[in-house]
Structure 1
Amino acid sequence: MYTQCPECLTVYKVEAELLVPACGCLRCSHCGSIFNALGTLAAQLPPEPFTRLADHALDRDPPVADVAVFRPRPPAAEPEQPVTMEPGDAVAGPDGDASAVGEDFSTLTFTPKFARTKRARSWRTAAWVSVCLLLVLGLGAQLAWAKRDSLITDPTVGPLLASGCNVLGCRLPLVAAPTQLRLLARDVEQHPSVPDGLLITASVHNDAGFAQPYPVVTIVLSDANGQRLAMRRFQPEDYMGDVGSRLRGLPAGATTAMVFEVQDPGQHAVAFAFSFE
């Protein structure tokens, strides 16, 4: 910014900090006169040649500062102190007269409006959160039931579900996996009590990491040329008489013996085969 001494017309370059100590007054270093630098204060010099800087009137009303960049927060209001009334104090009525002399209001309880609103809002919020949690749990239960076979057969989740059911006393649904049943041994012999019958025994191991239902077993008898002579499909109730065992299924890693009774197709039957469904 620039200002000019009114006596000797010397122009000075000044900063705002230089004008603060004496409220805008400066002493000219050339002629020694004291002058108000605000009267000719200019942001830029006019084009040369010039003799005097433009004068500013210093006797007008202060301008309004309307571009605010910061405003401090108002101080917090101090809470009003409760008024303590002794029994027997008079209470001024609407007309300024003392009334209700001798009445005791110390047992009255006043609930502020904001407290009632907050309590009602808290109750609604808790109810809404509870409903949302129930909906999420219900959705999770539906998804888990829809994907139960995948969860039970999963090597990580399946054992956890089985452990949880053992603690809670529940039972996981049985998942069929006939490809994980392994035939360990088999044998065919004449039926001890039926003349034209055969008794076929098989030892089956469950390689799966979960219990599965007893399978449907198909037995095929064939001759030396591979021609099929007889075939029968055995349901679990045909070879497993214990109802409790059938409901529990074949445990993970367990081995069971299966016994089948079939009719002897004659001397031509020299081979037989097992399959599980």
Structure 2
Amino acid sequence: MYAQCPDCRTVFSLDASVLAQARGAVICGNCETLFDALDTLSEQLPPEPFRLLPGNARSEEAPRLELAVYRPREDVPAIAETAPASPAFTPRFAHDRRAPRQRPRRWPWVATCALLALLLAAQVAWAKRDLLVADPTTGAWLRQACASLGCRLPLVRDVHQLHLVARDVQAHPSVPGALMISATVRNDAPFAQPYPVVSLILADADGHRVAMRRLHPSEYLDDNAALHAGLAPGASAAVLIEVADPGNRAVAFEFGFE
């Protein structure tokens, strides 16, 4: 609400508590004039520019109030305005102190999910171990890790990286009617792989098979420790095969790895 000083025309903003202190009598903070704020009391200011607030006409009869917003119950006595103190009350939460609600612990679930994820990754890695060990990047990292931990990687077979670097056929020095065939196999893979099954095929001039022999690693290598360790990267192994001499029918021979 607003009121205007009648002397200096200064407009002030005030509320009902200020008017209630002296029933409308106020002192101008600009010119120290005592005046009745009820004469020019207004809820809104008129559009600017303006000089005077409209005055309020005094009525001889008291206005009747119809817009009621609250009426106390009859069985509850109204508190006297001059009551020295307000009724005391005790907040319920002063005696009803509940323990603070604890948040559920999430770390067991996080740890369990992380453990399950690691187990799943380990299962996938074990199922794809041949591809991981054969891969140049992953295999090098795994070999370095196993060298530090003292573990051993599973052997991966890749016969495409086994090459025959030397071979020779000659009559058996001590067994009549037999041939002694020797060969040298080299592992060109960057990882160790098991010793291969070596197959020897003798063919005639038309390319037809005359004889065939398959040797497992234990047949041409009697070192169990070497069989367990596998053929190291860049290492070579000698293979010695004894076969019956097919005579003039065999004019060619071929080695294969399985």
RMSD of equivalent CA atoms: 4.1
- Give, in whole Å, the separation in 1 of the partners of 2:192 and 2:56: 102
Q: What is the aligned partner in structure 1 of residue 140 from structure 2?
A: 159
Q: Is the CA contact (8 Å cut-off) linking 2:10 and 2:30 kept in structure 1?
A: no
Cα-to-partner distance string for 1:141-199 (whole Å, 9 max, x where unaligned): 22221121122112122123223333433321111000011111111111122212211
**Aligned residue-pair number:** 203
Cα-to-partner distance string for 1:242-271 (whole Å, 9 max, x where unaligned): 222111111111122111122211112111
User: Which segments of 5 or more consecutive residues in structure 1 lack a partner in the other structure?
Assistant: 17-23, 46-50, 56-112
Q: How does 1:28-67 map to 2 (within 5 A)?
A: 36=37, 39-42=41-44, 45=47, 52=54
Amino acid of the residue matched to residue 213 of structure 1?
P
Pair 1:206–1:6, CA change in 2 (3 A) = same
Task: Work out which of the residue numbers 219, 234, 243 in structure 1 matches 2:200.
Answer: 219
- Give, in whole Å, the separation in 1 of the partners of 2:212 and 2:132: 36
- Give, in whole Å, the separation in 2 of the partners of 1:215 and 1:6: 115
Q: Is the CA contact (8 Å cut-off) linking 1:199 and 1:259 kept in structure 2?
A: yes
Q: How does 1:17-96 map to 2 (within 5 A)?
A: 36=37, 39-42=41-44, 45=47, 52=54
Pair 1:144–1:25, CA change in 2 (3 A) = farther
Amino acid of the residue matched to residue 262 of structure 1?
V
Amino acid of the residue matched to residue 202 of structure 1?
A
- Give, in whole Å, the separation in 1 of the partners of 2:165 and 2:152: 28
Indicate whether 1:183 and 2:164 are aligned: yes
| TM-score, length of structure 1 as denominator length | 0.58
Q: What is the aligned partner in structure 1 of residue 239 from structure 2?
A: 258
Pair 1:229–1:170, CA change in 2 (3 A) = same
SS of alignment partner, residue 205 of structure 1: strand
Pair 1:54–1:211, CA change in 2 (3 A) = farther
Pair 1:33–1:114, CA change in 2 (3 A) = closer
- Give, in whole Å, the separation in 2 of the partners of 1:145 and 1:227: 43
SS of alignment partner, residue 40 of structure 1: coil
Amino acid of the residue matched to residue 186 of structure 1?
R
Greater Cα radius of gyration, structure 1 or 2: 2
Amino acid of the residue matched to residue 171 of structure 2?
Q
- Give, in whole Å, the separation in 1 of the partners of 2:131 and 2:46: 82
| TM-score, length of structure 2 as denominator length | 0.62
Amino acid of the residue matched to residue 54 of structure 2?
R
Indicate whether 1:139 and 2:139 are aligned: no
Task: Work out which of the residue numbers 188, 192, 195 in structure 1 matches 2:176.
Answer: 195
User: Which segments of 5 or more consecutive residues in structure 2 lack a partner in the other structure?
Assistant: 15-25, 48-52, 58-97
Q: What is the aligned partner in structure 2 of residue 208 from structure 1?
A: 189
